[in-house]
Structure 1
Amino acid sequence: MSRLLSRRFILATGLAAPALIQARSASASEEVDVELILAVDVSRSVDTEEMEMQMRGYAEAFRDPRLAEGIAGGPLGAIAVTLFVWSDWNIQQTLVPWMRLDGGPSCERFARAIDGASRETYLYTSISGAIDYAGNQFGQRYTGLRQVVDISGDGVNNSGRPLAAARAEALEKGIVLNGLAVLDRTPPPSTLLAGLPPVDEYYRDEVIGGPGAFLMVAEGYESFADAVRRKLIREIAGLSGPLVERATA
């Protein structure tokens, strides 16, 4: 009889274990002011020099004391941030996993992680793929009072499913989509001949969305660092402002 009871106890505890693990995982989620995902375009329109400008711009932004001050000024005084690069519909790569930032030292650690991340470029531009990938990254370790995706890019969606469908699904989940459109001052002739809309107008009309969503426009990659810094401060602090802002070198 004692052996039978022991077996029943082992079976019961074994069945309960997954539920206990799930409960512990849920309770381990830490609340922060914002869950911020940085989605960086590395399609073929971004050359090696421009890729470096992007990554250096993000790193410099997190070293700006005003960014740490903006984080400290939030209700909880902490945010969670991750960074991934994207290109084709099936190419998204997380370079910096989720990190909790609550001041200068943690912002510096995030900047160093960006410094040490790989620099690679691919082919096509799938904004829809980037939005889909980003939507699955929330709620892994943190619970944000706001969930924001910061999409930077210099071209229109030309890979993967329709952008409108991906955007609509993200907005239904309560995700805010902000944009950082980079204007190429010397666009290739193929772009001009294709009759594509200006990137800033495209991002304004087709990409951004959600409560308080806005677009930052970088007039060339030379102004990317300033655009990123201004954009991040506004996103983190939840500041109101114009629908479209512009940064020039």
Structure 2
Amino acid sequence: MAHPANGALLWGSAVRAALAFLLMLPAAALAQGGPQEVDVALVIAVDISYSMDEDEQRLQRKGYVEALRSTAVLDAIARGPIGRIAATYVEWAGSNSQDVVVPWQVIEGPESADAFAERIAAAPIRRAYRTSISGAIDFSASLFSKIGVKAMRQVIDISGDGPNNQGRPVTAARDDAVARNITINGLPLLYKRSSYMDIANLDAYYRDCVIGGFGAFMVPVREIEQFPDTIRKKLVMEIAGISEPAPRLEPTAAQEKTSCLVGEWRWNERMGN
């Protein structure tokens, strides 16, 4: 027959072992559970080429800052299956001009959204030469391998006011990204034509040459006053995974197919290289 004191010692040892096991559970579960999950990983890729003057850049940046803090966007995040997203903010121009302004951050409520928006607002305004949408797509697509979370969807939100005129063909970059299950949505800016490089049917160009992937869409900005409202609606659609925009946002200026090399041709014709 076991001595009562020995039984007490054994019981105490068992309790301590159980407590030690329970204390180790969070770390073990984290190690085995894999990366954090988000509804969508979103690259916000913004054109800063010289065709965008500083006032336009400030307005565009303000549009994203206000949108990320808006009730509509926060509600869209909260209503997702997981209730959080990951986002990064990138500025781009020519083939060798892409910069991460705000690195990947998980957004799951007002505080994290405000922190992300504040970093966008605090960054200095800058401009750079040329327009390489293909370079922007390639750079943005590469960021998904550095995200550190598991995303149900991967989306590149790319804005711009002109066609690709440097780097590899935009369709090649688009197709490579789509082959990796990345969706590319577009925000073509049509409200100003200030140079020979601008094209009247930029919305059709984005439709035919830039966007792609499951549920891809583009929302043109035809008047500069539309910027804030359009950016907010576009972010809500991307976060919610809406594959079709509202009809009044969707119309394009031309239904015929657009040449996807029009930017390169115009540049070569004007500059001779």
SS at match of 1:89: coil
Aligned to 1:208: 211
Q: Which amino acid aligns with 2:172?
A: A
SS at match of 2:55: helix
Aligned-partner residue type, residue 201 of structure 2: P
Distance 2:33 2:134 in 1: 32
Aligned position for 1:108: 114
Partner SS state of residue 239, structure 1: coil
Aligned residue number for residue 15 of structure 1? none
| Residues 139-171 of structure 1, C-alpha deviations (whole Å, 9 max, x = no match) | 321121000000001100001111111111001
Structure 1 unaligned segments of length 5 or more: list them.
1-23
Is the counterpart of residue 168 in structure 1 residue 186 in structure 2? no
Q: For 1:77-134, what per-residue CA distance to the aligned partner results, in whole angstroms no more than 9, with x for missing partners?
A: 1100000000010110000111101111111111111111121011100000000001
Distance 1:86 1:43, change over 3 A: same
* Structure 2 residue 51 is matched with structure 1 residue 51: no
Task: Give the total of aligned pairs.
Answer: 220
1:52 alignment partner AA:
R
Distance (whole Å) between structure 2 residues aligned to residue 25 and residue 205 of structure 1: 44
The amino acid across from 1:71 in the alignment is I
CA 205–243 in structure 1, closer or farther in 2 if over 3 Å, else same: farther
The one of 29, 36, 53 aligned to 2:42: 36
Shift of 1:30: 1.8
Show structure 2 runs of 5+ residues with no match.
1-29, 251-273
**Structure 1 segments (4+ residues) deviating >3 Å:** 24-28, 242-245
Equivalent position SS for 1:215: coil
* Cα distance in 2, alignment partners of residues 139 and 47 from structure 1: 32
Comparing 206-215 with 219-228, greater Cα deviation is found at 219-228
Closer, same or farther: CA 243–131 of 1 in aligned 2, 3 Å? farther
Deviation at 1:188, TM superposition (A): 2.2
Matches within 5 A, 1:129-148: 129-140=135-146, 141-148=148-155
Cα distance in 1 for residues equivalent to 2:190 and 2:167: 23
Specify the SS of the correspondent of 2:151. Answer: strand
Q: Is the 8 A contact 2:42 2:88 kept in 1?
A: yes
Aligned 1:60-99 pairs, distance under 5 A: 60-99=66-105
For residues 36-81 of structure 1, give each alpha carbon's deviation from its aligned partner in whole angstroms, at most 9, with x where no partner exists.
Answer: 0000000111001001011111000011011111101111111000
Larger CA Rg, structure 1 vs 2? 2
CA distance in 1, matches of 2:43, 2:245: 21
Question: What do you get for the CA RMSD once the two structures are aligned?
Answer: 2.0
Given that 1:217 and 1:244 are in contact with CA atoms closer than 8 Å, whether structure 2 keeps it comes out as: no
Q: Which moved more, 1:133-142 or 1:166-175?
A: 133-142
C-alpha distance after superposition, 1:184-237 (max 9, x if no partner): 33x125247xxx451111101100011111001111332111111000001001
Matched-pair contact (CA < 8 Å) for 1:38–1:83:
yes
Specify the SS of the correspondent of 1:183.
coil
Alpha carbons 1:217, 1:245 under 8 Å: kept: no
* Rounded Cα–Cα distance in structure 2 between residues aligned with 1:159 and 1:86: 12
Normalising by the residue count of structure 1, what TM-score does the alignment of the two structures yield? 0.83
Cα distance in 2 for partners of 1:90, 1:127 equals 11
Q: Is the 8 A contact 2:178 2:212 kept in 1?
A: yes
**Aligned pair in 2 of structure 1 residues 27, 160: CA closer, same or farther (>3 Å)?**
farther
> Compared with structure 1, are the counterparts of its residues 81 and 168 closer, same or farther at alpha carbon in structure 2 (3 Å cutoff)?
same
Partner of 1:152: 159
The verdict on how the C-alpha distance between 1:32 and 1:94 changes in structure 2, with shifts beyond 3 A counting, is same
